[in-house]
Amino acid sequence: MKKEKVIVAMSGGVDSSVAALLLKNDGYDVVGMTLRLWSEGSSEEYGENNRCCSVEDVDDARRVCQILDIPHYFVNFEKEFQEHVVNYFLNEYDSGRTPHPCFACNDKIKFDFLLRRAMFLDADYIATGHYAQISQSENHYSLIKGVDSNKDQSYVLFTLKQEELSKLKFPVGLYPKDQIRQFALDANLPVADKPDSQEICFIPSGNYREFIQERLEPKPGKFVDMSGNEIGDHPGIQFFTIGQRRKLGFISNDGQPRFVVDIDPDTYNVVLGLEEDLMQTTFCAKKLSFTRDFELGSEIQVTAKIRYKANEESAKVRIAENEAIIEFNNPQRAITPGQPVVFYQDDELIGGGIIENVSRAAPVLSASS
């Protein structure tokens, strides 16, 4: 009987390496594929384990494939990555929004271009090292949080629909991180102790301001208060995000800290306010994606997350045409346009969207205020 073929996206890290190991142990015909996404910078400048698509990463992936006795291929997606991830990242900041490049990379590079390449090569599935799970009930696929709550990555996978879910494998999502490292150690994989990447992969220095400054024309403007009064100058809307306090270059007269509350891409005004001005309950999301069918006008009860490391909070979602209105039960801090908001029911991720307009008509005080 012919084995089912799985192409594993191998970054050279421990998670994707163990994904390949687990799938081979489960009897699949496994092929390793490393994607070349970004070639700027050098390992001397940023360190071996802190740079996207480094020679060291490719060598690690190749060595793992040799140990597992599986084929390894290297494919170039630099053009696609530049267009759909880097340009998206720059365009969002240029519009006064805060992008999430990992979401964009998953959506377009891994689960669009790579998936199509895999199907062209007659693969049955692709697999990655994401900490998430896929369950199947009859003809429906559900996206479930990873077992390790500290590593769960379902937040950046909300665009996956039934067609993609039917072709995906997330083997490491069934285990906690320390078990994944133990699997690698037991199999003598050279990446067992390799550190996890921490920064945006194409900005290994972590200095996104410098990256933006080298590529975009600044849009300087005015700092204004919550009433619209001018209170200072700023070097460009691209250098700020909602909730930011540090590196504002602004000192208040009353000694109270100020935070970025809003960014106006038309006037180039950056609105500064107090902590309580950041607290809001209601906003609009667009570019919606759901794993289930919901009727237009329906209202669903969920727990929602407005950023990767945020806690889930109870909310209701009203589905309108091409958008949804999300209302949290309790005020949330710094709801940020450009960031994904995702919706859960229990441990299942049922969908999400991109945060657009936030209702900032008046600050919403928490119950303890």
pLDDT digits (tens, 9 = 90+) for 86-130: 999 999 999 999 999 999 999 999 999 999 999 999 999 999 999
Evaluate whether residue 150 is within a structural domain. yes
Q: What is the CATH number of the domain that holds 295?
A: 2.40.30.10
Alpha carbons 112 and 341: distance in angstroms, whole number? 21
Q: What share of the chain is helix, strand, coil (3-state, %, to 5)?
A: 30, 30, 45
Question: Structurally, how many domains does the chain consist of?
Answer: 3
Pairing label, strands 221-224, 230-234: antiparallel
| Contact (CB, 8 A) for 368 and 128 | no
| DSSP-assigned states of every residue in 310-345 | SPPEEEEEEEETTEEEEEEEEEEE---TTSEEEEEE
Say if residue 33 is in the same domain as residue 72.
yes
The answer on 287 and 261 residing in a single domain is no
Q: Following DSSP, what letter does each residue of 31-81 receive, concatenated?
A: EEEEEE----S-HHHH-TTSSTT-HHHHHHHHHHHHHHT--EEEEE-HHHH
The model's pLDDT over 135-163, given as tens digits with 9 standing for 90+, comes to 999 889 999 999 999 999 999 999 999 99
Total Cβ atoms within 10 A of residue 229 = 9
Range of 173's domain? 5-186
Establish whether 105 is a catalytic residue.
yes
296 domain-assigned:
yes
Q: Clarify whether residues 164 and 89 are in a common domain.
A: yes
| CA–CA distance, 209 with 236 (Å, rounded to integer) | 10
Cross-strand bridge partners of residue 271: 224, 262
Q: How far is CA 312 from CA 161, 195, 262, 305, in A?
A: 22, 27, 23, 5
pLDDT tens, residue by residue, 1-41 = 789 999 999 999 999 999 999 999 999 999 999 999 988 65
Residue 219 located in a structural domain = no
Asked, for residue 329, whether it belongs to a domain, the answer is: yes
Domain assignment of residue 196, yes or no: no
Q: Any idea what the CATH number is for the domain that residue 41 is in?
A: 3.40.50.620
Percent share of the chain, pLDDT over 90 = 81
Q: Is the pLDDT of residue 332 over 90?
A: yes
Q: Which residues of 40-63 are buried (b: 16+ CB within 10 A; e: fewer)?
A: ebeeeebeebbbbbbeebbebbbb
* The one catalytic residue among 52, 53, 65, 201: 201
What are the residue ranges of helices labelled H in 95-217?
101-104, 115-120, 162-165, 177-186, 208-213
Same domain, 68 and 103: yes
pLDDT over 60 at 367, yes or no:
no
Confidence (pLDDT) at 369: 38
Contact 126, 169 (CB under 8 A): yes
Q: Is 349 found in the same domain as 261?
A: no
Same domain, 127 and 31: yes
Coil, helix or strand at residue 169 = strand
Q: Would 204 be classed as within a structural domain? A: no
- Residue ending a domain, choose from 128, 154, 186: 186
Position 53 scores a pLDDT of 64
Q: Does residue 191 form part of some domain? A: no
Residues 150 and 261 in one domain: no
Q: Are residues 268 and 335 in the same domain?
A: no
Render pLDDT for 227-258 as a digit per residue (tens, 0 to 9): 999 999 999 999 999 999 988 877 777 888 99
Q: What is the pLDDT of residue 201?
A: 86
Q: Which residue has the tokens 């990655």?
A: 128
Is 75 in a helix, a strand, or coil?
A: strand
Same domain, 129 and 269: no
Rounded CA separation 281/268 (Å): 25
What is the pLDDT at residue 150?
94
Task: Write down which residue in 135, 159, 186 finishes a domain.
Answer: 186
On whether both 124 and 24 belong to a single domain, the answer is: yes
Is 201 assigned a catalytic role? yes
For residues 269 and 251, what is the distance between their CA atoms, to the nearest angstrom? 17
Choose the final residue of a domain: 218, 251, 273: 273
Given a contact cutoff of 8 angstroms between Cβ atoms, the answer to whether 353 and 287 are in contact is: yes
Query: Which residue shows structure tokens 């102790």?
Result: 193
Same domain, 43 and 81: yes
Asked whether residue 110 is domain-assigned, the answer is yes
Number of C-beta neighbours around residue 232 at 10 A: 16
Q: What is the pLDDT of residues 266-321, one digit of tens each?
A: 999 999 999 999 999 999 999 999 998 888 889 999 999 999 999 999 999 999 98
Average model confidence (pLDDT) for the chain?
91
Question: What pLDDT, in 10s, does the model give residues 30-78?
Answer: 999 999 998 865 444 444 444 566 889 999 999 999 999 999 999 999 9
Pair (236, 333) in one structural domain: no
Phi, psi for 366 (deg, rounded to 5): -75, 165
Report strand pairing: 140-145 vs 348-358.
antiparallel
